[in-house]
Structure 1
Amino acid sequence: MNYIKHLNGVFERFNEDQRLNPSHVSIYYALFQYWNVFRFRKQFFVQREEIMQASKVGSLSTYHKCIRELSEWNYILYMPSKNPLKGSQVKMSIFWTCDEQVEDEQSTSGGQQLNKFETFLEQVAEEYVKSGERALVYKTNNIKDNKPIKPLWPKSEFEVVEFFKTRSWPETEASKFYHHYEAVGWKIGGNQDVVNWKTLSQRWMKKAEEIQKQQKLKDPDHLKIQNYKNYGEPL
């Protein structure tokens, strides 16, 4: 993979494409960096939170809109996953061709110029449909030298509490989060190691907020009265 030629091709296409906005470009370069980390795999898995953080896109709706449009406009092939424990897949379109490919194409097609924007989207889509299983993100994106990914776990409950404070989250939830995963050995589903506890804590708080909202809808306090009243007090 010649990433310099690829980026030059991307620059040219970005300059000509008036549909793009800064969010499109930022998300694309975040995906490209992901692709680079995993040695330009033909197809790789991504996590939404990491791509949003790398691209500095804070809106969830903007992220989904831009990444789907990048796929529709053939910059990438985006294959979303509905399972929160399994990542969505991405295939990067190729924007360059080597000299040998150009010469071969010219000799066999009567001198026709090879299209600089060459993709294999149909091939990848077909392989995606044929594949009956989707591996977990951190099991699939293996770096070429197969070095294991070092899990990032908190050193103590204090570290978790301090992190929750920076996000203005309740300290009680920090303690619940720490003791729950400490009890299960920092594993998800009983066998998958927690790779990044800070990312996992975001999912924990979203679930806690959903439970709190459901509880309020289930037991509304319409009269706004105290649950315990001292009837010894005069009216």
Structure 2
Amino acid sequence: MKEMNVLCAFFKAQQKDGRIGITHIALFVSLIYHWYIEGSINPLSAFSRDIMKTSKIKSHVTYFRCIKELSDYGYIIYKPSFKKTQASKIYFMEE
């Protein structure tokens, strides 16, 4: 399962990365879950409201900060749509 490989690689890398907190971890695991549910097609097309619900993130500010940081740190590539009716794209780093 490529989802498990990506998740294991994330957990291995984040152990050495002091910038990653519990909210980043919850968000990343939620993204993996949605990726799995959607058939593991890269990129994942997702709406923030769905990811926030699964990851238990209540604040849009926190969600967007954390997803941007995961992208900036190289764990994902995040391409926001900036439209409420169009899903954003999240690319996972597959080996």
Q: Normalization by structure 2: what TM-score?
A: 0.91
Matches within 5 A, 1:51-62: 51-62=51-62
Equivalent residue of 1:65, what SS?
helix
Output aligned runs, 1:136-175, within 5 Å: none
Note the alpha carbon deviations across 1:191-235, whole angstroms, 9 max, x for none: xxxxxxxxxxxxxxxxxxxxxxxxxxxxxxxxxxxxxxxxxxxxx
- Alpha-carbon RMSD across the aligned residues, in angstroms, is 1.3
Alignment of 1:214-229 (within 5 A): none
User: Do 2:3 and 2:32's aligned partners in 1 also have CA atoms closer than 8 Å?
Assistant: no
Question: Quick one: which amino acid aligns to residue 88 of structure 1?
Answer: S
1:1-235 equivalent positions in 2, closer than 5 A: 1-94=1-94, 97=95
1:84: how far off?
A: 1.1
Cα deviation digits, residues 2-52 of structure 1 (max 9, x gap)? 333332222111111110111111111110001111121021210111111
Deviation per residue, 1:71-110 (Å, 9 max, x gap): 111111111112211111111112xx4xxxxxxxxxxxxx
Q: Which structure shows the bigger proportion of residues in strand conformation?
A: 2
Unaligned runs of 5+ in 1: 98-235
Q: 1:41 to 1:59 in 2, by over 3 A?
A: same
Bigger-Rg structure (1/2): 1
- CA–CA distance in structure 2, aligned partners of residues 2 and 90 of structure 1: 15
- Which consecutive unaligned segments of at least 5 residues does structure 2 have? none
Deviation string for 1:151-184 (max 9, x for gaps)?
xxxxxxxxxxxxxxxxxxxxxxxxxxxxxxxxxx
TM-score when scaled to structure 1?
A: 0.39
- Distance in 2, matches of 1:5 and 1:45, equals 20
3-state SS, counterpart of residue 42 of structure 1: coil
Aligned-residue sequence identity (percent) comes to: 27
Counterpart of 2:53 in structure 1: which amino acid?
Answer: Q
- Letter of the aligned partner of 1:10 in structure 2? F
Change (3 A) 1:35 1:9: same
